[in-house]
Amino acid sequence: MAAELLEFGYLFVVLALTGTVALRLGLSVIPLYVVGGVVAGPYVAGRLGLPYVANAEVTTLLAEVGIVLLLFFLGLEFSLDRLRAARTNISRAGAIDLVVNLPLGVGIGLALGWSVVESFLLGGIVYISSSAIVTKTLIDLGWIADPESEPILGTLVFEDLAIAVYLAAVTSLVLGGDGGVAAIGRSLAIAFGFLGLLLVAVQFGTPLFTRLLDVGNQEAFVLRALAVVIVVSGAALALGVSEAVAAFFVGMGFSTSGHRESLERRLTAVRDVFAAIFFFWIGLGTDPTLLAAAAVPLVVAVVLTTPAKVFSGYLGGRVYDLSTTRSLRVGVGMVPRGEFSLVIAALAASGSTQVMREVIPAFAVGYVLVMSALGTLLMQRSDLVERLVFRGGPAGTDT
């Protein structure tokens, strides 16, 4: 027990040091947390004979809580009424994002000589932005209150719902199509049935959500909120539904309860701690020596998918009638990739081909590492991106 406690303490030491470096350099902490996980993990520190943090089950569990809380906070920014009111814009912007980016990833895979299923896996990895990283960066940079946050968050919602369908389909394909169309149909029916129940709860459960948190004790308030979001997310995961999507719906339920500000104030520190563990956990699973096998698809994907994501996000911003400058910010804000790309890679690792088992997981880790760092950097330096793109021309910054 002492050894495990020391190892866990080492994890927080690394997080504290990387956070300090980020603050002093004025950088986003997210990519540095990932790098910290790589350096302090078994593939770097362990091979050098230094103390390292193992990619243990408890770390994975705490990382899952980080994803859940990040998406819960994303849901707090929405209400079902707001989602309904914006459904046309969300659908249009999300469709543009899907049509531009998923086929591009599939095309890259086919051009590399991969099979259709392997290419479809690659398409999903490069399509889905990181709700966790994007949401955290929006909050850190103060963009959450700006007009561009609405199309960014709306497109993330569309992606999270689309990926639930994608994962149900691709799971049957990768695992040999056991049950074929019937298996895919059952998976989709379970997923949408569960999400439908959550929607009903969000629609009619406001009084229940309100009464649940009507407690004066801060400890009881926090524990009740965590109990609901984590239990519902765990149930979703057990049924093969994205825990992130479930947490988002729970956040929407609480958003109209009258307790939103209290939830944000009391749970922000909890969210940030678990989120830091999540980003660190991404690095823990990264073996730098395997990246060489995926170097060619990695370079091709970064070069092609970065401008594609910016372009589709820009078009999404225009759907919301934002100015060219703010629309470009939307595109930049969609660049980071993260948790869902790694989920797809983990699924690929259970496949039957060498590309699935070795190349795609290595590619996904390298791609997430590059795109999380590049995406957060582009968001931080969006002013420079605007100057480079518009070259001093009229950009309509505030309309």
Q: Which segment, 91-100, 194-203, 292-301, 384-393, is predicted with the most confidence on average?
A: 91-100
pLDDT digits (tens, 9 = 90+) for 244-293: 778 888 998 898 888 989 999 999 999 999 989 988 887 887 778 877 87
Mean pLDDT lowest among 49-63, 158-172, 215-229: 158-172
Higher pLDDT pick, 314 / 137 = 314
Q: Which long-range contacts (CB under 8 A, 24 or more apart) does 98-104 make?
A: 98/127, 98/158, 98/159, 98/162, 100/308, 100/309, 100/311, 100/312, 100/315, 101/126, 101/127, 101/305, 101/308, 101/309, 101/312, 102/126, 102/127, 104/304, 104/305, 104/308
Structure letter (DSSP) for residue 358: I
Q: Which long-range contacts (CB under 8 A, 24 or more apart) does 362-366 make?
A: 362/287, 362/290, 362/291, 362/293, 362/294, 363/122, 363/125, 363/294, 363/297, 363/298, 363/301, 364/125, 365/282, 365/285, 365/286, 365/287, 365/290, 365/291, 366/286, 366/291, 366/294, 366/298
- pLDDT over threshold 70, residue 183: no
Mean pLDDT lowest among 120-124, 173-177, 315-319: 173-177
**125-144: average pLDDT:** 87
Higher pLDDT pick, 171 / 97 = 97
pLDDT digits (tens, 9 = 90+) for 347-362: 788 788 888 988 898 8
Percentage of the chain beyond pLDDT 90 is: 36
Q: What pLDDT, on the 0 to 100 scale, is given for residue 397?
A: 47
Q: What pLDDT, on the 0 to 100 scale, is given for residue 308?
A: 97
pLDDT band at 392 (very low <50, low <70, confident <90, very high): low
Q: What pLDDT, on the 0 to 100 scale, is given for residue 390?
A: 83
Mean pLDDT lowest among 154-163, 190-199, 381-390: 190-199
Q: What pLDDT, on the 0 to 100 scale, is given for residue 393?
A: 52
Q: What pLDDT, on the 0 to 100 scale, is given for residue 396?
A: 47
Retrieve residue 77's tokens. Answer: 């920014």
- pLDDT over threshold 90, residue 83: no
- pLDDT over threshold 80, residue 173: no
pLDDT band at 179 (very low <50, low <70, confident <90, very high): low
- pLDDT over threshold 60, residue 177: no
Q: What pLDDT, on the 0 to 100 scale, is given for residue 128?
A: 93
pLDDT band at 114 (very low <50, low <70, confident <90, very high): very high
pLDDT digits (tens, 9 = 90+) for 52-68: 888 778 888 998 898 88
Q: What pLDDT, on the 0 to 100 scale, is given for residue 245?
A: 76
- Whether 104 and 126 have beta carbons less than 8 Å apart is answered as yes
pLDDT band at 229 (very low <50, low <70, confident <90, very high): very high
Type of residue at 177? G
Higher pLDDT pick, 64 / 82 = 64
User: In this structure, how many other beta carbons lie within 10 angstroms of the beta carbon of residue 64?
Assistant: 21
pTM: 0.77
pLDDT band at 325 (very low <50, low <70, confident <90, very high): very high
Q: Which of 130, 125, 134 is closest to 28 using CA atoms?
A: 134
pLDDT band at 395 (very low <50, low <70, confident <90, very high): very low
